[in-house]
Chains A and B, each alone.
Chain A
Amino acid sequence: GDPQNLKCVTHNLLKMLCTWDVSSRGRRGQTDFCYTTNDHTPQVCFKTKERRVEIPVPESSITVTIKSPGTAFATKEFVIHQKDISFAPVTPHILSLTPDFPTSALNLKWSDNGSVFPYGLDALWQIQILRKEAKEEVTKVTYYSKLINEDVILSWNWTSDMPLECTSHYVKIRCYINATQFVGPKDWSDWSPVEVIPGKDTEPGGSGVFPLDTVVAVGSDVTFCCVHEEDQRITNMTYGSKSYTMMQLSSRSHAIRVLNASASNSSGTNVVCRLENGMMDGSVVFVGYAPDIPQNLSCETSNFLIIKCTWKPGRPSGLYGGRKTKYSLFERISSKNVSCEVNEMSKDRVCGFPVLPDQKTYDFILDVSNPIGQAQSSLLVDITQRVHPKTPEKLTVTGNNSTSIQLRWFINGSFAGIRLLCQIEIISGHSEKKLHNVSMPGGKSSSYTAQLNALLPNTKYQFRVRCSDADHFWRWSDWSRGLEQTTSEA
């Protein structure tokens, strides 16, 4: 029979696979196959038993002569132009499909097989994800890459809208290469073999509610599933106290979809799957907020030993225990990092950082994170300008006559190297309140004295004192306890 229907397909723009069939059922035997390209290179011939041969892709056209066995040798000549040759890349293969169950994410890796193609071609990859027993399409995504005449491993991530445990997820890919110089028809490759991430509903004895004990942001849409034994039936699935309509994923897996999840209480929201045999399976989900950016970050020292940073936390996260928001203070200049112990129930947030030898300026980053998110605030501060002395203590009278009184007090903290400004409040029965300012060199956990003159004889006075940094005022200390003293008679 005469050779006919000669078709040529190339997968790499270099070689093409030509196939043909024969008009009538002839004896199968050796076929003589010859080809020559139009640049008058010598004809190439060879024998083949197959009705398919691999020959080079021509620049423009190629002449093929096929002499197939039969009663008389039927010889047929074909002229194949490039436009007659179709191009479909070789079927890609998935190198790896890696699940990350906690985040319900899949990571797909495959080779772009770029070494067989000229540099710079655009490649399109279609990635199809299927799910459930019925292998329903979940999504089909197009991914773009550029071939660089090397085999490059491409990587792509996808997050499922339901836990991977709920049911099997299947992935396959195919490729299209935009070979602009190639004039023949171009087509997608075949789909790759399917890769599967088996769900718990395929595991013997696999059961449970998923996601298990997870944390999600308020407002999330979350799919929960209940995987059960083949012979069991679910009576209902509840989220908190509300029952939800179930979707069947497979014979052993049913799911509910919770939209716009609201904040849970401290012990989390229960997702319960009740089975006909009276048993229950469940999971707990903690619905909370990512931490707010810390507001009003402020740092000061009261003793040049510890720097105390405070801030406003913003909206509570609603997460507690092991999931609560964690705080750490990082100082860029010294690269020192301190984690802060914070009581989520108390209003004020405080963190201590050691004053470092020979370092005045501190470049702080307060890092705030919980399972839902993370935030930061930063502050550049010269700590010598953020002195907030502790409350003066042990205010006593050390000298007294009819018109003057000497006071002494103690302040805990090391203020050597700065001057203190102290303010003494003087109240007497006759006159209104007076404030007397006095400055003195700072000491190291020491006492300070001041002399008050021009007082009235035989008069009862009330004193109290507060102090601050004389050169760079930041904040007054709190007032000391009051002290009452009467001047002696004239």
Chain B
Amino acid sequence: MAAADSPSAALRRRDLCSRGIRLAGKMRADVVDLLDTYVEQQGLDASATVAAVEGVPLAAVERWDEQTGTQRLLENLAAYRAFRALLAQMLEEQREQLGEADAGLGRALAAVLLQVSAFAYHLEELLRLESRGIPGEEEDGPPPPPRLSLFEQKLRGLGVLRELAQWALRSARDLRQLAKPSPATGTAPGLAESP
């Protein structure tokens, strides 16, 4: 983002970033609660090690400091689009497996899915502000995952939620980074840290 922001764009970006940070914080809290419910309801061991789940982008990134704002937004957007698809699939599997038996977990999953969708839209807003093209979603969406056994589905769900919780942390950091005035110009009004 070499060009200096106009005051209104900078204000708009700061507003979007701070709202995004709050959304990420809320999402993180809800995902952590959901994780507890999920582990208990699925009879899993909270300390279970779960191999990297296919299709789940990793929040951990090397040389985080060196990323440009656009890279941050694009990586975030790709991640939350992937989480949107994975959570939707988890919800469908949940309904298929439990039917009306466990509405509680289903509702919590649906609520997090809603937040993930909202956050993805929020990121698209930020990219539009940067007059960056929004990457199209893969026409037919991610390739259908291989048919997993029920236990594998449970473990994958655990992996998805854990990684989503990490991403919510990272997104908040990314957005704080975005909200800072760029050192190069130093003239654009700095985006205040969100509370």
Contacts and interface: CB of A to CB of B under 8 A. Distances in A.
A212 B149 contact: yes
Contacts of A208: 149
Interface stretch (B23-31, B55-63, B99-107, B185-193): B99-107
B154 interface: yes
A279 B154 CA distance: 15
A265 B97 CA distance: 12
Contact of B102 (A267, A271, A282, A283): A267
B96 A321 contact: yes
Interface in B86-144: 95-102
B101 A321 contact: yes
A213 B150 contact: yes
B71 interface: no
A6 to B, nearest CB: 65
A282 B151 contact: yes
A212 B102 CA distance: 22
A213 B101 contact: no
A267 B154 contact: yes
Greatest chain A CB density within 10 A among B45, B96, B101, B155 is at B101
Interface string B66-91: 00000000000000000000000000
A133 to B, nearest CB: 26
Given A209-B151, A282-B151, A267 B43 contact: yes
B104 to A, nearest CB: 10
A278 B47 CA distance: 12
Interface in B13-63: 41-45, 48-49, 51
B97 A270 contact: no
Given A267-B43, A267-B154, A280 B48 contact: yes
A270 B151 contact: yes
Contacts of B151: 209, 213, 270-272, 281-284
A345 interface: yes
Contacts of A265: 41, 43
Given A213-B149, A283-B151, A240 B49 contact: no
Contact of A266 (B45, B49, B102): B102
A213 B51 CA distance: 21
A282 B154 CA distance: 10
Contacts of B41: 265-267
B156 to A, nearest CB: 12
Contacts of A240: 43
B101 A344 contact: yes
A109 interface: no
A447 to B, nearest CB: 40
A213 B96 CA distance: 14
A270 B152 CA distance: 11
A266 B37 CA distance: 13
B170 to A, nearest CB: 25
Greatest chain A CB density within 10 A among B41, B97, B98, B151 is at B151
Interface in A241-283: 241, 265-272, 278-283
Contacts of A268: 43, 97, 150
Nearest to A285: B150
A61 to B, nearest CB: 69
Contacts of B43: 240-241, 265, 267-270
Contact of A279 (B42, B51, B97, B150): B51
Interface in A286-325: 320-322, 324
8 contacts: A213-B150, A240-B43, A267-B102, A270-B154, A278-B49, A280-B49, A320-B100, A321-B98
A280 to B, nearest CB: 6
Nearest to B48: A280
Given A213-B149, A213-B150, A240-B43, A320 B97 contact: yes
Greatest chain A CB density within 10 A among B43, B95, B102 is at B43
Nearest to A208: B149
Nearest to B41: A267
B155 A282 contact: yes
B152 to A, nearest CB: 8
B51 A320 contact: no
Given A268-B43, A278-B49, A320 B99 contact: yes
Contacts of A344: 99-101
B100 A345 contact: yes
B45 to A, nearest CB: 8
B122 to A, nearest CB: 32
Given A321-B96, A344-B101, 13 more contacts: A209-B151, A265-B41, A266-B102, A267-B43, A267-B97, A269-B43, A272-B45, A272-B151, A279-B49, A282-B152, A283-B149, A283-B150, A345-B100
A159 interface: no
Interface string A74-116: 0000000000000000000000000000000000000000000
B50 to A, nearest CB: 8
A284 B41 CA distance: 13
Contacts of B155: 280, 282
A212 B98 CA distance: 17
Contacts of A267: 41-43, 97-98, 102, 154
A268 B150 CA distance: 9
A320 B103 CA distance: 12
